[in-house]
Amino acid sequence: MTERCIDANVAIKWVLAAETDRESALALLQDSVRSGIVLIAPPLFEVEVDRHHP
């Protein structure tokens, strides 16, 4: 099984349309899904995402 570790700043770009480099982040997500790559995140992922929430 192939895994790809993503950081919160990548995941934020998936949902916030105004983020710079959003297209690149979405392409990474689509490539991962298409290729069967499992996305994993570091232990502090949820805290980092919540910190960026308005």
Q: What is the pLDDT of residue 32?
A: 97
Q: What is the pLDDT of residue 33?
A: 96
Q: What is the pLDDT of residue 37?
A: 97
The model's pLDDT over 13-53, given as tens digits with 9 standing for 90+, comes to: 999 999 999 999 999 999 999 999 999 999 999 888 876 55
Q: What is the pLDDT of residue 48?
A: 84
Handedness of CA 15, 18, 23, 28 (dihedral sign): negative
